[in-house]
Amino acid sequence: MKEYIMVFKNTHDAIGTEKFIKNKGLNIMVMPTPTYITQSCGICIRFNDEVLSNIEGDLDKEINFKNIYLINQAGLTIYK
């Protein structure tokens, strides 16, 4: 199962997204944004590909995010 990190421009967007996704009954983890991702909000959301498939239609409409990164063996790769 693939894992992703969604980063935000500000804490307001991060908390709003957390509520939005949890209201859909999906499991996510809120965590500190990795320090090597600069110029982002201090918190991010980690989730798997099941969550991504359930929110993809909401991206750019209901969810205000900066980037989504795919977590892989080499580190992080920008997904969107």
Domain ranges of the chain: 3-78
Q: What's residue 26's pLDDT?
A: 97
Q: What is the pTM of this model?
A: 0.89
Which residue(s) pair with 7 in the sheet?
67
Q: Is the pLDDT of residue 10 over 90?
A: yes
CATH number of 3-78: 3.30.70
- pLDDT-based confidence at residue 67 (cuts at 50, 70, 90): very high
Q: What's residue 3's pLDDT?
A: 96
> Strand order of the sheet with strand 43-48?
29-32, 43-48, 3-7, 67-72, 75-78
Q: Where are the beta strands (DSSP E) in the chain?
A: 3-7, 29-32, 43-48, 67-72, 75-78
Residues 65, 30: Cα–Cα separation, whole Å: 14
- pLDDT-based confidence at residue 55 (cuts at 50, 70, 90): very high
